[in-house]
Structure 1
Amino acid sequence: MKLDSTLKAIVLLIICTFFWGSCFPIGKHVLDEVNALTLVFWRFMIAAICLAVYLKVIRTPKPHLEFQQWIWVIFVSVIGVGGLNLCLFTGLTYTNATNGSLIMALSPLITSLIACIALRIPPSSSQCFSLLVSLTGVLIVITNGHLESLLSIRINYGDQLIFCGMLAWSIYTYCSQGISNWMPVLPYTFIGMLSGATVIGVMCLMSPEIHPFTELWSTTTLGIAEVVYIGMFGTVAGYLLWLNGVRQLGSANAALFFNLVPIFSVLTSFILGQEVTKIQLIGITVVIIGLLLPNIKRLKLQPKINSEA
């Protein structure tokens, strides 16, 4: 039973990272028609509306939490969901995509470090090796094999913002593991989407040049379809699958799969007509190997545990 749940969690995390990875080239295309804050606002508004309707249809009971628990859930959601997207998309206006991808690729490492510090447990040698292998693969994909280009990267204001967003996401991933023990995933995800829409909505109100409703109304049919895709698949489905994976595998192991995001981004770009080089395919293979390393031992040990039960 545990083996089945582990395999299911792995598959769901892979699907999740595909949705997120595909949002990068799709989002890049739609940003030619709408402002970044407009895109993020509608991303979370669509997600919040979809989840609200779904929760109403299935008649999900309201979680009975203490006041302190509600405050903690809302705080973590605002930091992790709103903070990540606000820092990420704002930062990308000051820096290039390569810098942003490299910084976000540090998320698994930072999440593992947060878990080790919080639990006062040093990372295992296999976990460290897996992180190193996966990060190497990500760097190969992003730099197209020219690792020396890392030496020319300069840290600017945009890089600092994206680093703050990456840190917020890492904290969200770790804290979500504990919250999922006493709060169902669906209501927790809904609060996250509502928090994200609120944070970005406030930012839109503070920016007179941004008009989310007017911009969406004046965009093309394809642009609207892309915004809906990002809202439904890249947000609703993505966050639900991610939180389920965190609950099953733990924050440190689930965070490893975040390395697949730039991989699926490259593959989606290829499907949309952009070229993918051989060295990038090698990098993709290295990332997959890095992800499999810590789970091979897990999968081998699970049957023994089940047989004893």
Structure 2
Amino acid sequence: MRSRHAAFPLFAVLSWGVMFPVLASALTRVDALNLTTARYLFATTVLLALLLAREGWAALRTEGRGAEVLLLGVLGFAGFNVLTNLALGHAAPQQIALFVATTPLVTQLVRWARDGVRPRPALLGLSLVALVGVGLVITRGRLDGLGQFGVGGLLMAGAVLGWAVYTHGASRFTAWSPLRYTTTTALYGTLAMLATSAVVDLAGLQHLPAAADLGAVAPQLAYAVLVAAVLAVLAWNTGVRRLGPADAALFMNLVPVTTFVVQTLRGYRPGAVELAGAALTIAALVAANLTTRTRKPIPTPTRHPAPTPTRHPAPTRHPAAVTDYPAVVDPVALTTR
């Protein structure tokens, strides 16, 4: 059963791993903020149609939690995606994807800070091992290369923190379906991106994309909207609901490995150290999921004490009786034999 649940975050992280090279190619024609806004404008439209068809207009009610939904939408959609696209303008996709592997660690720290739940030693240790493996993949064994990300690294640190808070937030909306949580937070995040894009465009800090520019990146947008935004985020929130935020976040270690594989298919040739790092990452992820499996205890049959037979008063002896009445038989006692 747990393996079936793991398919949801696995699909999400594989989709996101492919997304980094796809978005990097689209950024040559459209600015980062406008690209993110266009992407989620389309994605939120699809999500909204699905939610209304399945749950109706009542599902859009925030039930007095509008401020929390707004904050999570801004952090999870506007924050993570805008900062990621900006970071892609300063570093290679495989380098940016490396920071996504820190999500398990950051999610556990967020959970510790907000709920007081200390990270489990096994999860924490194996997350660090997986992160080391990812570091080997990206840097080819030269760990000094981690300090060369500059602005891109700072932007991705903020993006990962925003996504960790968003991931943890899903566990606080257990009464909502994953579709409802995804759609409402995406709606608020998209509105924030629209407002920000309008201000930035009017200020001349970026240029509103022309129809020809959007047409040129239509294939990238189609993937980023339908697969990486709609299907992947729905799968991710479903996985968080079924596995918990800490366990689901472990799958984020596969994002940079997936990006690395995509870059390899595009002509990049990995070395032995990189292949070893990829194997270490996958092994740590599998071990983490095995150690966090919760075994259901075998139910012990409840032993009920045998009922105490009801004592009936002895039959009254009448002086004229020739013989005594027969002994009274207790039916409760018979059923316990």
Same fold (TM > 0.5): yes
**Is the partner of 2:64 in helix, strand or coil?**
helix
1:147 counterpart = 2:143: yes
Q: 1:222 to 1:144 in 2, by over 3 A?
A: farther
Instruction: Give me the whole-angstrom Cα distance separating, in 2, the residues matched to 1:173 and 1:290.
Output: 21
Q: 1:62 to 1:213 in 2, by over 3 A?
A: farther
Contact kept? 1:267, 1:276, Cα under 8 Å? no
Instruction: Give me the whole-angstrom Cα distance separating, in 2, the residues matched to 1:207 and 1:186.
Output: 31
Q: 1:291 to 1:306 in 2, by over 3 A?
A: farther
Instruction: Give me the whole-angstrom Cα distance separating, in 2, the residues matched to 1:160 and 1:50.
Output: 32
Question: Which has the bigger relative contact order, CA under 8 A and spacing at least 6?
Answer: 1
Partner residue, 1:274: 268
1:121 offset after TM fit, Å?
3.3
Instruction: Give me the whole-angstrom Cα distance separating, in 1, the residues matched to 2:266 and 2:197.
Output: 31
- Paired letter, 1:39: L
Instruction: Please report the RMSD computed on the Cα atoms of aligned residues, expressed in angstroms.
Output: 2.6
Instruction: Give me the whole-angstrom Cα distance separating, in 1, the residues matched to 2:15 and 2:94.
Output: 20
Identity among equivalent positions (%) equals 25
Partner residue, 2:54: 58
> TM-score scaled to structure 1, two decimals?
0.86
- Paired letter, 2:81: N
Partner residue, 2:305: none
1:273 offset after TM fit, Å?
3.4
Unaligned runs of 5+ in 2: 302-337
Matches within 5 A, 1:66-215: 67-94=63-90, 100-150=96-146, 152-153=147-148, 156-179=150-173, 181-208=174-201, 209=204, 210-212=206-208, 214=210
- Paired letter, 1:160: L
Instruction: Give me the whole-angstrom Cα distance separating, in 2, the residues matched to 1:199 and 1:230.
Output: 19
Q: Deviations over 1:105-125 (max 9, x none)?
A: 322111112222333333222
Name the stretch that deviates more: 56-65 or 164-173: 56-65
**Is the partner of 1:305 in helix, strand or coil?**
coil
Contact kept? 1:41, 1:212, Cα under 8 Å? no
Instruction: Give me the whole-angstrom Cα distance separating, in 2, the residues matched to 1:225 and 1:134.
Output: 32
Structure showing greater Rg:
2
Q: 1:118 to 1:269 in 2, by over 3 A?
A: same
Q: Deviations over 1:143-191 (max 9, x none)?
A: 12222323x437x454333322221111111121112x12111121112
Tell me which stretches of 4 or more aligned residues in structure 1 moved more than 6 Å.
306-309
> TM-score scaled to structure 2, two decimals?
0.79
Unaligned runs of 5+ in 1: none
Q: 1:201 to 1:123 in 2, by over 3 A?
A: same
1:128 offset after TM fit, Å?
2.0
Instruction: Give me the whole-angstrom Cα distance separating, in 2, the residues matched to 1:126 and 1:258.
Output: 17
Q: Which residue of 282, 286, 290 corresponds with 2:280? A: 286
- The total of aligned residue pairs comes to 298
Contact kept? 2:111, 2:168, Cα under 8 Å? yes
Partner residue, 1:233: 227
Q: Which residue of 238, 245, 257 corresponds with 1:263? A: 257
- Paired letter, 2:184: I
- Paired letter, 1:56: L
Q: Which residue of 295, 302, 305 corresponds with 2:297? A: 305
